[in-house]
Structure 1
Amino acid sequence: MYLTEFQFNPARPQASRLLSSPQVLHAAILASFPDPPRSGDNSPRVLWRLDRNSPTRVTLYITSPARPDLTHLVEQAGWPTTSGWQTYDYQPFLDQLALNDIWSFRLTANPVHNTRRTPTEPTKPTAHLTPHHQKLWLLQRQTGAGFEVLAAPTTPDTATATDHLSLRIRNRQKLHFEKTGCSIGVQRRITLYTATFEGELRVTDPDALRRTLTIGLGRAKAYGCGLMTLAPSVCA
């Protein structure tokens, strides 16, 4: 597995086009591989996430089973004369994950639940729209994903169960973009709700967490959701 970091130059016209459409950016990322890895339910896949730390600093993170070549992205939307991209061997980090390790994490996800209006109607995925329900969505998946969100210091104004945890929503977005269908020239309007979570976690199942880090968490993985990254924690 590989972890890649790429810095966009938001002032370039092609960067604006890529950053405005998860569909277009996904296609550009897959073009980084001569033989794009197939996506399977239980096999490592290409995952990506955009971190918009400021209007002028937008970072793309990619995890992938194969090493990517981002030359085309550097030429079109990066900094060709000063920096390209950095790719790291991710496997040693994954292998050293151990029970009860403490890490800071970041995850952009598409929190949804299945709903239906009548008992006979098929269920359909519906987005969680409030921060409270978005946090609950992640907490409902933490055990199967191999981690536990740590508790946070309580304060007098702590109101809900999720307020007791070191779990924050850094950014929430409603994205609109066009997706080309199977028929030539047919496009479909996609609306996607995302939430970027940050917090502190404890590893409860290293193998399950390795799967989470390599196959993603939740839906809309092709559109920049599902990639969790870890960093050293101040709580460790």
Structure 2
Amino acid sequence: MNVWLSRLRPNLKHGAARHDLRNVYDLHRRVMTLVPDNLGEQARRVTGLLFRVEHTARGPQVLVQTQVAPDFGRLPEGYADAEGPRRLDPFLRELHAGALVRYRIAGNPSKRRGNSSIDLGKPGQIVPLRGADAEQWWIRKAEKHGLHILSLIARPVPDARGNKNGAQIKHAITQFDGVARITDPDLVRAAVLSGIGRGKSYGCGLLSLAPLKVDR
């Protein structure tokens, strides 16, 4: 298991960086340049690439997780300041049942419409979940992936929007932060490596964990 986490701070004076932040499809294509070419149609899955855009006091940053070492030299000159990569596998190997962790994930809470009269709209359509429904979505997903949620702060963030060959892309995003207890470390490791939920190509699903330091 090899996992790297990197941080990109896009240079807002760089035209390509500004463009990519406005079009999540092009941002996806940009971060994919950090990993080798010619890996086929499932290149993102093969390399385990996940990313998340965060808006901070210092400006936007893009966290990128990969299972191959990223090559920052493939970015355009002046595109971004890069930090890392930092290896995550030592931390992941030490996860154990009962451990307390802080978590963050920008998820795409959503559901597929059913055929019942309660689900108004086209059957099979993917619809976003908001508010309390989004929180329940995350609690269910977390339990399924080996985390018991102890605290939860949900914050809607701007939708992931873009254009792919003329087709509009839009994914609703809610950022979830809090504390959880690990119930199954193998499931948690798998969730970190593979991501959770829909929209992984467009900045959703990257699960970040950090050990919770408890004062004694």
* TM superposition score category, shorter chain reference: 0.7 to 0.9
Task: Give the structure 1 partner of residue 184 of structure 2.
Answer: 205
| Equivalent-residue separation in structure 2 for 1:9 and 1:148 (angstroms) | 38
Consecutive unaligned residues of structure 1, counting only runs of 5 or more, are 151-165, 181-186
Task: Say whether 1:188 aligns with 2:193.
Answer: no
SS of the residue aligned with 1:29?
A: helix
Partner of 2:109: 111
Secondary structure (helix, strand or coil) at the match of 1:32 reads coil
Match of 1:161 in 2: none
1:230 paired to 2:209: yes
Count residues with an aligned counterpart.
206
1:141 corresponds to 2:120:
no
Structure 2 counterpart of 1:127: 128
Contact 2:160 2:203 in 1 (8 A): no
Q: Conserved in 2, the CA contact under 8 Å of 1:44 and 1:214?
A: no
Cα offset, 1:101, TM superposition: 0.8
Partner of 1:69: 71
**CA distance 1:174–1:117, shift in 2 (3 Å):** farther
Q: Which of 4, 12, 16 is the equivalent residue of 2:6?
A: 4
Shift of 1:235: 5.0
Cα deviation code 1:131-174 (max 9, x no counterpart): 21110110111221110111xxxxxxxxxxxxxxx101234223
For 1:158, the equivalent position in structure 2 comes to none
1:148-159 map, 5 Å: 148-150=148-150
Equivalent in 138, 152, 155 of residue 167 of structure 1? 152
TM-score (norm 1): 0.79
Q: Which residue of structure 2 lines up, in the alignment, with residue 21 of structure 1?
A: 23
Instruction: State the Cα distance separating 1:13 from its structure 2 match.
Output: 2.2
For 1:19 and 1:178, the matched residues in 2 are separated by 12
Q: Answer with 22-31 or 170-179: which moved more.
A: 170-179
CA gap of 1:122–1:170, structure 2 versus 1, over 3 A, is closer
Identify unmatched segments of 5+ residues in structure 2. none
Root-mean-square deviation (Å): 2.2
Q: Deviations over 1:65-111 (max 9, x none)?
A: 100112243624214xxxx3310122111111111111111100111
Moved over 6 A (4+): none
Counterpart position of 1:38: 43
Larger Rg: 1
Contact 1:14 / 1:76 at 8 angstroms: preserved in 2? no
Q: Which amino acid aligns with 1:63?
A: Q
TM-score by structure 2 length?
A: 0.86
**Counterpart-to-counterpart distance in 1, 2:71 and 2:10:** 15
Aligned 8 A contact 1:70 1:85 in 2: no
Percent identity reads 24
Q: CA offsets, 1:5-58, max 9 Å, x none?
A: 222222332221111111001111111112457355xx772111111113x422
Deviations 1:181-231 (A, max 9, x none): xxxxxx101221111110101100000000000000000000000001112
